[in-house]
Structure 1
Amino acid sequence: MLTTSFAGLSLGSSTFQCGRKLQQRATLRVAAPVPQTIEAAHKKGAGSTKNGRDSNAQRRGVKVYGGQPVKAGGIIIRQLGTKVHPGVGVGCGKDFTLYALQSGIVVFKKSKYDDKVSVIPFEDYEKPEGQKRKPDGRRAKKRKLYPSRVVLAANDANAAFAAASS
């Protein structure tokens, strides 16, 4: 009977001594003293700016357009990858820059698969039909009606010379 009444209690427990229950002792833990920091009057540190990390522009694009003259070695296009492929008289650099191998006129050709740029020598270049001057065009008629002052002065000088010599 005695064993059944004390079945839930252990004899080695600190809460049971000499057959009666004692109150548990509360353990007080004393924390180590934390040193106090006293801040003096001073300026706060300046934070770094969040700007100023932008890179410089690469200046890519077409430098000489179609129908314009270019010297040998002149840069025609600066590009990233071969968006425009080199044609006749054009070389490609290691950074895909297209440059003229000979002096001449720049010509762009667009096909179904790729765009090409070529340099045609000055002697072989023929202006497209829309860029040729028409002898009976609006500009030619305007020049006849309103000649420049240089042409008028030359005509007056020729007339004066002809009158003086006769």
Structure 2
Amino acid sequence: MLATRSLFAGRTVVSSRSVVAVAPRRGALVVENAHKKGAGSTKNGRDSKSKRRGVKAYGNQPIKAGGIIVRQLGSTWHAGENVGVGKDYTLFSTIDGIVVYQKKADRSKVSVFPLESVKGQAAATATHTTEAKADVGSRKERRRATYKPRGSSSAEPVATVAVVAASTQP
């Protein structure tokens, strides 16, 4: 049976017992996260060019005035004597001379000394290797002198042959 009821003043609507509510229509919702999509995505192919940071002139090497010693991110190495700092923390030489790295407990620094100075002469002649001793051979020779094969004894090895007699009847 159909009933009539009033929704608004002066109007009547015929309704049945079942009322169906329709949800409003939504557009497609796309959420992109901060991760790469599957293979073949064209948004993954970009990369920044390399900055080419690092040490350009090592210790005890000669350098000209204005020559770059270290390109770095932040002040890993601090400027010492005759060394300037660029706006991107690049260390450069202000004079011609020899590069000297000084690593202290609190701060590491780079200095450049003229070749004529005492520190420059010391840096130019400094070496980090020692000369080989005359009476001691190389490491390989010392190893060969003390080498003994595994399982060896002081006696000469003896070869033994075992003979087995077995009947071979068909």
TM-score (norm 1): 0.51
Shift of 1:14: 2.3
Name 2:3's counterpart in structure 1: 14
Distance 2:82 2:93 in 1: 6
Is residue 121 from structure 1 mapped to residue 119 from structure 2 by the alignment?
A: no
Is residue 66 from structure 1 mapped to residue 53 from structure 2 by the alignment?
A: no
**What CA RMSD, in Å, does the superposition of the two structures yield over aligned residues?**
3.2
Describe the shift of the 1:118–1:93 C-alpha distance in structure 2 as closer, same or farther (beyond 3 A). same
Shift of 1:49: 1.4
Shift of 1:51: 2.8
1:75-86 matched pairs, under 5 angstroms:
75-86=68-79
Q: Which runs of 4+ in 1 moved over 2 A?
A: 24-27, 129-132
Describe the shift of the 1:25–1:51 C-alpha distance in structure 2 as closer, same or farther (beyond 3 A). closer
Distance 1:129 1:115 in 2: 20
- 1:45-104 Cα deviation digits (max 9, x unpaired): xx8513321100000000000011100000000001100000001000111000000010
Describe the shift of the 1:71–1:51 C-alpha distance in structure 2 as closer, same or farther (beyond 3 A). same
Is residue 108 from structure 1 mapped to residue 101 from structure 2 by the alignment?
A: yes
Identity of matched residues, %? 51
One-letter code aligned to 1:102: I
**Matched length:** 98
For structure 2, the 5+ residue unaligned runs are: 5-14, 21-39, 135-170
Shift of 1:129: 5.3
For structure 1, the 5+ residue unaligned runs are: 1-12, 16-23, 30-46, 139-166
- 1:93-128 Cα deviation digits (max 9, x unpaired): 111000000010000000010100000101121222
Q: Which stretch has the larger CA shift, 120-129 or 76-85?
A: 120-129
TM-score (norm 2): 0.49
Rg comparison, structure with higher value:
1
Describe the shift of the 1:83–1:51 C-alpha distance in structure 2 as closer, same or farther (beyond 3 A). same
Describe the shift of the 1:53–1:26 C-alpha distance in structure 2 as closer, same or farther (beyond 3 A). same
Residues 3 and 16 in structure 2, CA contact (< 8 A), matched pair in contact too: no
Q: Secondary structure at the match of 1:118?
A: strand
Distance 1:67 1:82 in 2: 21
One-letter code aligned to 1:66: G
The equivalent position to 1:95 in structure 2, one of 88, 95, 99, is: 88
